[in-house]
């Protein structure tokens, strides 16, 4: 029996019998001891590798991805790093710090010795955890030869300028097509598209410039550049976006398109001045990707039927509500795609325009020149529209115009910021909308949140379901319609944990799915809406009596159907 298992027995973490069974499982599979222990949640990962460090004599190190230098990654090929689970951490002088999950592996040691002789470096080994290894290995995706050469060329170019002391500033230097900064920006954009990122953040720091990508709702640090390269990168992006290069004191907004992998990609750009320099955020917009179906977004059952029925009505207001980043715009564009037929005139007012949809008349508001949502809406009504989309009903004037547009024979789509679907009614009243207008104009409200969709390739059925978890399901789903209860598997056989594999970049989740709460304006709710003693609690009670599924309930139902994890649903619930 291995020293690690023996130590866990001595610490009363494992019984002799359990250790024997685990050893048999490991011998008949491709798993290592560490992977099996973590999969069965026998011992916390950090504690497990600290214990292993004591046994093997290699110092355990918890590495932040920010500590990993891009140049260090050149010393160990990606294939070797993945196969032997060892990653370079940093290079100082001629010494390379190497993080290894299995430093006791003799073959891995031989490969490291060979690489050290070939590349003429010495090394120091640290023990790192599996999770830490997978976080660092993602950085190899950024290590392209062209990028390394571009970085080297740019640094060399800047050093020459510094020596000459007569070169033009980075912001005004003419950029040729083969300029290093152009190649560097191209790699940053390409990596965002390859990684299916929704946003790119380029941030100045004291000693470096950090590039982060938002993937499935979370930011991941991926590239770290010398701080002196930051102004050149920002200048290149400003040139692409037709922004003022010499203006660094105020925020600027723009957009540009470029071809990546023979596909035209749009990037929406926002610059923001900080104490250390300008920060740039780019939203990645892939044309055609917004044209998903309602089912793809996560609508099903009663919610799907209500939304489809709402857009079939000849007029009325449909409001999508939720916090920033909850997918409201995507939902509205999906509805527009369904409504976008040859015989209708669709006009939008947006700030900013997210996607360009064929057959739709998009209009960007410009408050700085007196063209806001209210002014745009008045003009739209003279454009003979059938369907109107307004980016956001921000104030009383816009809210009243949206309501009247819905009442005068138009389908109107817009967004609002409330925690739930029922909260839309009191919010509209607070904005100054006469209560008697709301029942006649409002067709439906859609509240939503986004959660991670479980990776279908590695999700694993939950082994241990606590009584507390069972109680949560029973309490939350007690009020759902009886026909839906009969469809669900309350044996909890379809609850899954996120695991992580190569296909989901070891996150356990691939893509995101929406949790929805759809409120249909019925006669009973209309009576409550015009009641002077209106209470949100009364509205919720009536909506639930009519069969409304809350966001939390929708999430737990999706968890029971194996689409997301309970942990994701409970996390989303905490934000409400």
Domain-by-domain residue ranges, the chain? 3-136, 144-285, 294-574
pLDDT of residue 18: 86
- Separation CA 559–CA 495 (nearest Å): 6
180-209 b/e (C-beta count within 10 Å ≥ 16 → b): bbbbbbbbbbbbbbebebbbbbbbbeeebb
pLDDT in the model for residue 548:
93
448 Cβ neighbours under 8 A, 6+ residues apart: 320, 321, 322, 326, 327, 328, 331, 514, 515, 516, 517, 551
Q: Give the per-residue pLDDT at 38.
A: 87
CATH of domain 294-574: 3.40.50.300
pLDDT of residue 15: 87
- Do 548 and 518 meet the contact criterion of CB atoms below 8 Å apart? yes
Residue 335: closest CA among 324, 325, 316: 316
The architecture of the domain spanning 144-285 is: 2-Layer Sandwich (3.30)
Half-sphere exposure of 83 (CA within 13 A, CB side): 10
Tell me if 334 sits within 8 A of 297, measured CB to CB: yes
> pTM to 2 decimals?
0.71
Contact 321, 328 (CB under 8 A): yes
Q: What is the pLDDT of residue 445?
A: 96
Q: Are 237 and 230 in contact (CB under 8 A)?
A: no
Secondary structure (3-state) at 22? helix
Determine the length of the chain.
576
The bridge status of strand 509-520 relative to strand 442-454 is antiparallel
Q: Residue 421 to residues 38, 407, 430, 539, 543: CA-CA distances in angstroms? A: 40, 21, 15, 10, 10
Write the Ramachandran bin of 498: left for phi over 0, alpha for psi from -120 to 50, otherwise beta.
beta
Distance, in Å, from the CA atom of 36 to the CA atom of 31, rounded to the nearest integer, reads 6
Q: Which of 236, 195, 227 is nearest to 213 (CA)?
A: 195
pLDDT value, residue 162: 52
What is the pLDDT, as a whole number, of residue 536?
Answer: 83
State phi, psi for 299 to the nearest 5 degrees: -75, 135
Shortest CA distance to 148 belongs to which of 209, 80, 223?
223
Reading the chain (576 residues) residue by residue, the pLDDT tens digits are 788 888 888 888 888 888 888 888 888 877 888 888 888 888 888 889 999 999 999 999 988 766 666 667 778 888 888 889 999 888 888 899 999 999 999 999 999 999 988 888 899 999 999 988 888 887 665 554 555 566 666 666 555 555 554 443 434 333 334 467 887 888 888 888 887 889 999 999 988 888 888 888 888 766 778 888 899 899 999 999 999 999 999 999 999 998 887 888 999 999 999 999 999 999 998 876 555 799 999 999 999 999 999 999 999 999 999 998 898 999 999 999 999 998 999 999 998 888 888 889 999 998 889 998 999 999 998 999 999 999 998 888 899 999 999 999 999 999 998 889 999 999 999 999 988 889 999 999 999 999 999 999 889 888 778 888 889 998 999 888 888 888 886 777 778 988 877 778 777 888 899 999 999 998 888 888 777 777 888 888 889 888 999 999 999 999 999 999 999 999 887 666
Which CATH code, of 1.20.140.10, 3.20.20.140, 3.30.300.160, 3.40.50.150, is assigned to 3-136? 3.30.300.160
CA distance 460 to 508: 10
pLDDT of residue 154: 61
């Amino acid at each position: 029996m291995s020293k690690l298992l023996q130590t866990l027995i001595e610490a009363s973490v494992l019984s002799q019998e359990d250790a024997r069974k685990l050893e048999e499982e490991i011998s008949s599979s491709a798993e290592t001891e560490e992977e099996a222990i973590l999969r069965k949640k026998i011992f916390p990962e950090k504690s497990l590798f600290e214990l292993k460090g004591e046994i093997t004599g290699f110092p355990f190190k918890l590495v932040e991805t920010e500590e990993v230098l891009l140049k260090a990654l050149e010393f160990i090929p990606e294939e070797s790093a993945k196969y032997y689970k060892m990653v370079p951490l940093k290079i100082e002088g001629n010494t390379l710090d190497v993080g290894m999950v299995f430093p006791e592996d003799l073959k891995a040691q031989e490969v490291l010795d060979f690489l050290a002789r070939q590349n003429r470096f010495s090394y120091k080994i640290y023990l790192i955890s599996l999770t830490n290894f997978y976080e660092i290995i993602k950085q190899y995706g950024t290590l392209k030869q062209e990028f390394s050469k571009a970085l080297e060329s740019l640094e060399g170019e800047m050093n020459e300028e510094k020596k000459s002391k007569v070169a033009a500033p980075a912001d005004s230097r003419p950029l040729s097509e083969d300029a290093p900064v152009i190649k560097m920006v191209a790699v940053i954009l390409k990596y965002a598209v390859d990684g299916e990122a929704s946003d790119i953040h380029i941030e100045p720091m004291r000693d470096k410039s950090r590039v982060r990508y938002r993937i499935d709702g979370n930011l991941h640090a991926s590239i770290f550049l010398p701080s002196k390269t930051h102004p050149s990168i920002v200048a290149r992006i400003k040139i692409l976006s037709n922004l003022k290069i010499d203006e660094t004191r105020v925020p600027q907004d723009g957009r540009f398109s470029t071809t990546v992998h023979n596909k035209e990609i749009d990037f929406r750009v926002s610059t923001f001045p900080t104490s250390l320099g300008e920060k740039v955020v780019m939203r990645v917009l892939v044309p055609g990707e917004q044209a998903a179906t309602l089912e793809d977004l996560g609508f099903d059952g009663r919610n799907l039927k209500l939304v489809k029925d709402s857009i079939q009505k000849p007029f009325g207001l449909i409001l999508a509500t939720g916090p920033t980043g909850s997918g409201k715009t995507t939902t509205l564009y999906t509805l527009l795609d369904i409504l976008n037929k040859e015989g209708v005139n669709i006009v939008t007012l947006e700030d900013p325009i997210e996607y360009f949809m064929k057959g739709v008349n998009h209009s960007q508001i410009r408050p700085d020149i007196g063209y806001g949502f209210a002014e745009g809406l008045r003009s739209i009504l003279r454009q003979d529209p059938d369907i109107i989309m307004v980016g956001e009903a921000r104030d009383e004037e816009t809210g009243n115009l949206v309501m009247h547009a819905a009442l005068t024979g138009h389908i109107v789509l817009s967004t609002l910021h409330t925690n739930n679907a029922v909260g839309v009614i009191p919010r509209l009243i607070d904005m100054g909308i006469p209560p008697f207008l709301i029942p006649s104009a409002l067709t439906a409200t859609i509240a939503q949140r986004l959660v991670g969709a479980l990776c279908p390739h590695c999700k694993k059925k939950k082994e241990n379901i606590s009584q507390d978890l069972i109680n949560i399901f029973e309490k939350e789903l007690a009020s759902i319609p009886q026909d839906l209860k009969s469809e669900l598997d309350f044996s909890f056989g379809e609850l899954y944990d996120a695991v992580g594999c190569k296909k989901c970049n070891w996150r356990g989740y691939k893509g995101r799915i929406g949790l929805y709460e759809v409120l249909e304006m019925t006669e009973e709710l209309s009576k409550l809406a015009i009641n002077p003693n209106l209470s949100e609690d009364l509205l919720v009670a009536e909506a639930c009596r009519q069969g409304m599924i809350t966001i939390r309930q929708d999430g737990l139902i999706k968890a029971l159907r194996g689409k997301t994890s309970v942990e994701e649903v409970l996390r989303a619930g905490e934000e409400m």
